[in-house]
């Protein structure tokens, strides 16, 4: 039998070495049954060796062996910024560190903001990056923020950390909480009886809204009750100074400043803001939106009977025939406090007319149609048999007012001011490292605003704040180290299998 010489060779198509024992010389031509058995066993060992020596490990093992991240943290400096920090070690010099972050909220697409902290090409770095809310616009207290680190070194190794989470909340208050069903109420300073009374009000509001309109909560809702209006205003950036309550439907969050002396007003405001959140849950759509008169009208309706002051203002305006066309109230209310207050009352009266005359089931169907992408005219026509202008004139007839000519409606809509986006001032230096701007951007956190008891309301909705720049997550990502190792394992196994087949074929041919 000819001597079989062997050697160790290396296969490194994927950046790692695999020692394998390979028979490189021809087997003897005269092969006995015992010899054949021995050769087949040797060839089989090649396949086993290939499989055993190939290490198919995931990112966590890679992180342990070449890149590691220590002490990842997010420090809240409320309400101005959130500072992300981490300590990174790598066997090879660092090439790039990427912070990916976002906010749990209803949006029209999955979005991820990316920041690129500056790092030196060393094997060790303490990295940090500050999300400055004064530049981007703030998230509401209670918002759930996630983040992760993506690290690449000069050897081509990469590592992605697990997702970490932090609740964006003011740490200066001794927050307590009480829950029932899908409602969690957070408060501080005042006794538990105060919180329980407000929670009971919220639960009764949900029951009444479900009974009268069929609208029910779809997700848990958090109510943050600040000890006064000033504390609430200090917790958010760029909201009107007259705001007493804020609803963030995309976050399922409500903020209200209530003192014990304001508790009756606070109860009505809780009901009002809860309704905005429920309507936001029900009607969320990337295809259409709920007109302001309907959104505010159902919120005021949910409070119960119209406030006596608002009722008096409405009756006086009806007597003077001094109310704008309903169509003109679809994109917001007047900047003037007295006209905006009147628009709340008018919107309530129209919604009350629809529910009283056509029932709660149709109102629920109207919201569902808006969620499904229908415009308000189309939705009204499909459900009630008339459009918005016809609805306006029907309501005016019930109130003893003359119908509005089409020319008057058209002129009123034409006179509406074009909305102008107002960006928050930049009062801080640039962030520590560039932030790439990629599309699409995340939807801004927009508050629906309710006035305090001692201030008349201004615009119906708070100004939307620019969100962190974001990029689509659907882009094709490069292969991970795990993918490459798996591909290498498969290729190496196939090589070993081929060697086994060749060995057997050579034995058969020799016979």
Q: DSSP letter string over 320-387?
A: HT----GGGGSS---SSHHHHHHHHHHHHHHHHHHHHHH-HHHHHHHHHHHHTT--HHHHHHHHHSS-
Q: How much is the pTM? A: 0.66
Give me the count of residues in the chain: 511
Q: Residue 14 carries which DSSP code?
A: T
Both structure tokens of 450: 């309710």
- Identify whether 338 is preceded by a cis peptide bond (ω within 30 of 0): no
CB count in 10 Å sphere of residue 201: 20
71: number of Cβ within 10 Å: 8
198 contacts 191 by C-beta, under 8 angstroms: no
Which of 479, 476, 477, 468 minimizes the C-alpha distance to 438?
A: 468
Q: Judge: domain 173-284+448-462, CATH 3.40.190.10.
A: no
Report yes or no: 271 and 302 within 8 Å, Cβ to Cβ: yes
**CATH 3.40.30.160 in the chain, residues?**
173-284+448-462
CATH architecture of residue range(s) 59-170? Sandwich (2.60)
Please give the C-alpha separations between residue 271 and each of 300, 303, 315, in angstroms, as whole numbers: 8, 6, 24
Please report, for residues 185, 267, 269, 301, 484, the alpha-carbon distance to residue 264 in angstroms, rounded to integers and kept in the order given. 17, 5, 9, 16, 64
Written as tens digits, the pLDDT of the chain (511 aa) is 322 223 333 333 333 333 333 333 333 333 344 455 554 455 555 445 444 444 444 433 334 458 999 999 999 999 999 999 999 999 999 999 999 999 998 887 777 899 999 899 999 999 999 999 998 888 999 999 999 999 999 998 999 999 999 999 988 899 999 999 999 999 999 999 999 999 999 999 999 888 878 888 999 999 999 999 999 999 998 877 767 789 999 999 999 999 999 999 999 999 999 999 999 999 988 877 899 999 999 999 999 899 999 999 999 999 999 999 999 999 888 878 788 889 999 999 999 999 999 998 999 999 999 999 999 999 999 999 999 999 999 999 999 999 998 888 887 776 554 433 322 222 222 333 333 333 223 333 556 656 554 443 333 333 333 333 232 223 333 344 444 455 555 666 777 777 777 776 776 676 6
CATH 2.60.40.10 residue ranges in the chain?
59-170
pLDDT at 414: 64
Quick one: pLDDT at residue 74?
A: 96
* Residue 407: CA count within 13 A, CB half-sphere: 0
In this prediction, residue 486 carries a pLDDT of 52
Euclidean distance between the first and final Cα of the chain, in Å?
13
């Amino acid at each position: 039998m000819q001597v079989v010489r062997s050697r160790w060779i290396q296969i490194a198509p994927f950046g790692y070495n695999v020692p394998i024992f390979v028979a490189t010389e021809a087997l003897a031509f005269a092969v006995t049954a015992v010899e054949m058995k021995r050769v087949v066993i040797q060839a089989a060992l090649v396949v086993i060796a290939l499989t055993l020596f190939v290490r198919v490990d995931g990112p966590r093992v890679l992180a342990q062996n070449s890149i590691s991240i220590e002490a990842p943290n997010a420090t809240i400096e409320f309400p101005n910024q959130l500072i992300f920090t981490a300590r990174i070690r790598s066997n090879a010099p660092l090439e790039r560190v990427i912070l990916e972050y976002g906010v749990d909220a209803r949006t029209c697409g999955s979005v991820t903001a990316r920041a690129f902290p500056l790092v030196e090409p060393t094997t060790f770095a303490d990295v940090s990056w500050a999300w400055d809310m004064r530049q981007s616009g703030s998230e509401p207290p209670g918002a759930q923020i996630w983040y992760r680190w993506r690290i690449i070194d000069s050897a081509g190794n990469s590592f992605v950390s697990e997702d970490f989470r932090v609740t964006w909340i003011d740490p200066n208050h001794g927050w307590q909480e009480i829950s029932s069903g899908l409602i969690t109420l957070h408060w501080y300073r005042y006794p538990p009886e105060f919180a329980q009374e407000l929670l009971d009000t919220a639960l009764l509001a949900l029951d009444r809204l479900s009974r009268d309109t069929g609208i029910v909560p779809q997700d848990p809702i958090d109510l943050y009750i600040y000890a006064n209006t000033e504390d609430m205003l200090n917790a958010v950036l760029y909201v009107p100074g007259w705001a007493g309550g804020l609803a963030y439907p995309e976050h399922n969050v409500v903020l209200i400043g209530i003192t014990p002396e304001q508790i009756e007003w606070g109860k009505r405001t809780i009901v009002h803001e809860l309704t905005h959140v429920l309507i936001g849950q029900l009607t969320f759509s990337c295809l259409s939106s709920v007109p302001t008169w309907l959104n505010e009208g159902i919120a005021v309706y949910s409070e119960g009977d119209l406030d006596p002051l608002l009722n008096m203002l409405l009756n006086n305006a009806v007597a003077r025939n001094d109310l704008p066309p309903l169509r003109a109230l679809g994109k917001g209310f007047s900047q003037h406090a007295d006209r905006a207050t009147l628009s709340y009352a008018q919107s309530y009266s129209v919604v009350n007319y629809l529910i009283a005359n056509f029932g709660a089931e149709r109102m629920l169907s109207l919201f569902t149609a808006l969620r499904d992408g229908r415009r308000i005219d189309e939705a009204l026509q499909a459900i009630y048999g008339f459009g918005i202008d016809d609805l306006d004139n029907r309501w005016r007839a019930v109130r003893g007012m003359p119908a509005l000519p089409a020319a008057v409606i058209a002129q009123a809509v034409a006179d509406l001011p074009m909305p102008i986006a107002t960006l928050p001032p930049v009062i801080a230096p640039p962030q520590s490292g560039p932030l790439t701007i990629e599309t699409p951007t995340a939807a801004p956190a927009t508050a629906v605003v309710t006035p305090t008891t001692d201030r008349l309301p201004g615009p119906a909705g708070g100004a939307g704040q620019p969100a962190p720049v974001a990029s689509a997550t659907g882009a094709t990502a490069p292969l991970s180290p795990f993918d490459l190792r798996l591909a290498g394992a498969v290729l190496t196994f196939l090589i070993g299998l081929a060697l086994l087949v060749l060995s057997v074929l050579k034995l058969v041919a020799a016979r």
